[in-house]
Amino acid sequence: MSQPAENTRIVLASRPVGEPQPSDFRIESAPLPVPGEGQLLLETRYLSLDPYMRGRMSDAESYADPVALGHVMVGGTVCTVIESRDPGYSSGDVVLSFSGWQSHSVADAKHVRKIDPSLAPVETALGVLGMPGFTGYAGLLRIGKPQPGETVVVAAATGPVGSAVGQIARIKGARAVGIAGGPEKCAYLHELGFDAAIDHRAPDFADQLAAAVPNGIDVYFENVGGQVWDAVLPLLNTYARVPVCGLIANYNLTSAPAGPDRAPALMSRILTKSLTVRGFIQSEFVKESFADFMLDMSGWVRDGKVGYREDIVDGLTNAPEAFIGLLRGKNFGKLLVKVADA
């Protein structure tokens, strides 16, 4: 790990209209930042790419402020400390940070968390043992509350959130039905122990889903929206719970789709089936549930009860293309960019 002269960073060049284009990003070089007292100079090893980043590229009102034009794209990272001005950290320590799409950064020591490389591969702190895994854990257990024998359905099921949801549902005694794109991903869901796997690209997708849930759906963990939600809604049982953590199918919409207006029918369904539809961001549950998550999930991973898969792209400059692919469902497993070797 030689100290380089420059920081390579990817900034938001323009706000996408619809699907992001490579030209919405710009690669820049900048001098290395200098850490102040209580700060760390970090070299990024892994950058996490996640669907929520699409929202941060737009200036529509959302739960977080947008990335400003010309600013570094945000994102979770696993970094190596290359210079510490905080007594709690030493050069060579590996930390979880939120340094964004860049090779180097300065962070306050109080904003990072040390990762023990002997416990699990360090990049799992961005996936199964990190924000995506916790999103699945908290949304399923705090909102979905699956009971033994109930049916839990999740889409994007080979992704880091969906695969956590399905596997935790099974651990809790529920039946897990996963939805994914293509036979390869569906085969992987069977490997993970899902009770059924449905390919959303199949022309008879809705019929296949209905056949896979003979007792209806008690929990639908919503992270995609679109045609999957359309197929799920009529299958939801009375008192079904729908934690809503993402709507990737909507993120590139530039305007409301053509009519008819199905919002009244959606509300009617919520009424007649006594549904609970509950949006959430994982941060809401960190204080109460993150410690339990780390204990439970690291145990389940260690014991082989929860498997995970990573899709690692090499080189920071490939991040824009990989991110655009993520929104199209091209990744297979938790999408990470390897920015630097250990």
Residue 226 CB, shortest distance to a copy of itself, in Å, is 8
Residue 278 CB, shortest distance to a copy of itself, in Å, is 5
Residue 246: strand, helix, or coil: coil
Of 126 and 143, nearer to a copy of itself (C-beta) is 143
CB atoms within 10 A of CB 30: 14
Q: Does 19 bind a copy of itself (CB under 8 A)?
A: no
* Among 238, 292, 295, 302, interactor with a copy of itself by CB under 8 A: 238
Residues 150/218, Cβ–Cβ less than 8 Å: yes
Helix (H) or strand (E) holding 292: helix 286-302
Of 109 and 228, nearer to a copy of itself (C-beta) is 228
Nearest to 332 by CA among 191, 144, 121, 129: 191
Contacts with a copy of itself, 317-336, as mask; x by CB under 8 A? --------------------
| Site stretch for a copy of itself (CB under 8 A), options 12-20, 31-39, 79-87, 242-250 | 242-250
With residues binned 3-state (H G I as helix, E B as strand, rest as coil), the percentages for the chain, rounded to 5, are 35, 25, 40
Residue 143 CB, shortest distance to a copy of itself, in Å, is 9
* Among 110, 262, 302, 330, interactor with a copy of itself by CB under 8 A: 262
Of 63 and 71, nearer to a copy of itself (C-beta) is 63
Q: Does 62 bind a copy of itself (CB under 8 A)?
A: yes
Of 280 and 332, nearer to a copy of itself (C-beta) is 280
The tally of CA atoms less than 13 A away on the side-chain side of residue 38 is 3
Of 56 and 85, nearer to a copy of itself (C-beta) is 56
Nearest to 135 by CA among 334, 280, 329: 280
| Cα→Cα distances 106→64, 65, 341, Å | 22, 21, 19
Q: d(Cα 93, Cα 115) in Å, to the nearest integer?
A: 8
Residue 47 CB, shortest distance to a copy of itself, in Å, is 24
Q: Does 27 bind a copy of itself (CB under 8 A)?
A: no
Q: Apex CA 339: angle with CA 338 and CA 341, to 5°?
A: 80
Q: d(Cα 104, Cα 33) in Å, to the nearest integer?
A: 8
DSSP bridge pairs for 106: 41
Beta strand pairing call for 77-84 and 39-48: antiparallel
Q: Does 2 bind a copy of itself (CB under 8 A)?
A: no
* Among 5, 36, 254, 271, interactor with a copy of itself by CB under 8 A: 271
* Among 31, 87, 258, 304, interactor with a copy of itself by CB under 8 A: 258
Nearest to 248 by CA among 271, 264, 270, 225: 225
Q: Does 270 bind a copy of itself (CB under 8 A)?
A: yes
As to burial, measured by CB atoms within 10 angstroms (0-12 exposed, 13-18 middle, 19+ buried), residue 166 is buried
Q: Does 75 bind a copy of itself (CB under 8 A)?
A: no
* Among 5, 203, 255, 303, interactor with a copy of itself by CB under 8 A: 255
Site for a copy of itself in 212-231 (CB under 8 A): 222, 225-226, 229
Site for a copy of itself in 87-126 (CB under 8 A): none
Q: Sign of the C-alpha dihedral, residues 64, 95, 136, 155?
A: positive
Q: Does 246 bind a copy of itself (CB under 8 A)?
A: yes
Residues that bind a copy of itself (CB under 8 A): 55, 61-63, 222, 225-226, 229, 238-239, 244-247, 250, 253, 255-281, 284
